[in-house]
Amino acid sequence: MAKEEIITGIDVGSSKVRVVVGEAKEDSKLPHVIGVGEASSEGMRRGTIVDVETAVSNISDALEKAERTSGVPIEQAIISLGGNHISSQKSKGVIAVSRADNEISEDDVNRVVEAASAVSVPPNHEIFHILPQNFKVDDQEGIKDPAGMSGVRLEVEATVIEGSTSAVKNLTKCMMRAGVDVSDVVVASLAAAESILTKKQKELGVVLIDIGGGSTSIIVFEEGDILRASILPVGAGHITNDLAIGLKTSVEVAEKVKLNYGMAVPSEVDKKEEINLAKIEKGEEEAVSRKLVAQIIEARLSEILSLVNKELKKIDRAGKLPAGAVLVGGGAKLPGVVDIVKEELGLPAQVGFPTELPGLAEKLEDPGYAVAQGLLLWGFNRLGEEKRFGGGVASINNTVGNLKKWFKHFLP
């Protein structure tokens, strides 16, 4: 690590573009936040680019704000990738140990993880992450780091995360047009986990639920390993649309109602309480029931959480995660959301807040910044790995040389 390194994370979501700029100083344990920028995201839908020109403009706006607060030009960044095109699958790799003395080398570890990448993916999809979980040396199972051990046969169980090639190409193209080189691409749920979850939570068993604008992503950890990662095609933006229909008003007014008067638990709202829409938007004349607003929000959240529960049932973890559910994203800010999650999932639940970092920490005290801050931490950890492993840690993007970084990052 150089004496000072600038790291930038850019999270392009369906509702917001968020940029976090950090400075990594030699011997520092955490990055120092020096800049933050945010702009509306109107060129994205469900995590994928639908309007290049608008997306470039949105990204440029957020970058300009981050450059203004940090005082440094942003030339490269780590970016998040979301969207319901992303999925995960389990894989195994097996190799024979190469050395004559049967000692397992780093090269053997890389080769077996490479072998685990030989999975079938849909046309126009590619592998973004290969996350080793457990290794097996001959008959000895449950090994986390086999390097230096002796054996004849090395096996690995891994989680492979894949997604649309065109989605990442379009996002990268938008970044380049905004004047930023992409140094790394990280699936958004992994970045959020980096920022929010503790090692203890990952060991006990936890589901991180990121309720974004156009989609909801989940990632499940147990014994420090990823059990499942998936993205559901409904998010907080659908709540806004439901409110617009139910209240017979515009999407813009519905969003303001959600943010200012939203509640996920109708029983906690007085049935006589009303919201005067005229105070929100000129030209609106009606008053609407706040209880009705809560009922609409509850209905959509219940649907989202039923889909989350289906994902948990697929891995036999419904109601069985001791560390419960941790909520992030814009949807996590709705009052009462924790109560409905507890009821629907049968798990302890809490809103997750990003790890407190030195610098402009108050800017990040928002679950919506979980992914952007996670990208910053990801980059910071990568710098530390490059220092420890002599620069041998490569970028993630689907090459054999990338595997070492991912392996090292997920070792306990």
Say what angle helices 290-314 and 251-261 make with each other, to 10 degrees.
Answer: 90
pLDDT at 189 over 60: yes
Burial of 53 (0-12, 13-18, 19+ CB in 10 A): exposed
Residue 411's pLDDT band (cuts 50, 70, 90): very low
d(CA 53, CA 77) in angstroms, rounded, equals 20
Per residue in 9-39, pLDDT (tens digit) is 999 987 889 999 999 887 778 899 999 999 9
Mean pLDDT of the chain: 87
- CATH topology for the 4-84+165-196+353-397 domain: Nucleotidyltransferase; domain 5 (3.30.420)
Name the residue ranges covered by the structural domains of the chain: 4-84+165-196+353-397, 87-164
Q: Decide: helix, strand or coil at residue 38.
A: strand
- CATH topology for the 87-164 domain: Dna Ligase; domain 1 (3.30.1490)
Do 4-84+165-196+353-397 and 87-164 fold alike per CATH?
Answer: no
Q: How long is the chain?
A: 412
d(CA 230, CA 311) in angstroms, rounded, equals 8
Sign of the four-CA dihedral 291, 293, 299, 301: negative
d(CA 286, CA 197) in angstroms, rounded, equals 43
Q: Decide: helix, strand or coil at residue 276.
A: strand
Per residue in 60-102, pLDDT (tens digit) is 999 999 999 999 999 999 999 888 788 888 899 999 999 999 9
- Highest mean pLDDT among 60-69, 206-215, 396-405 belongs to 60-69
Please say whether the beta carbons of 91 and 116 come within 8 A: yes
| pTM listed for this prediction | 0.80
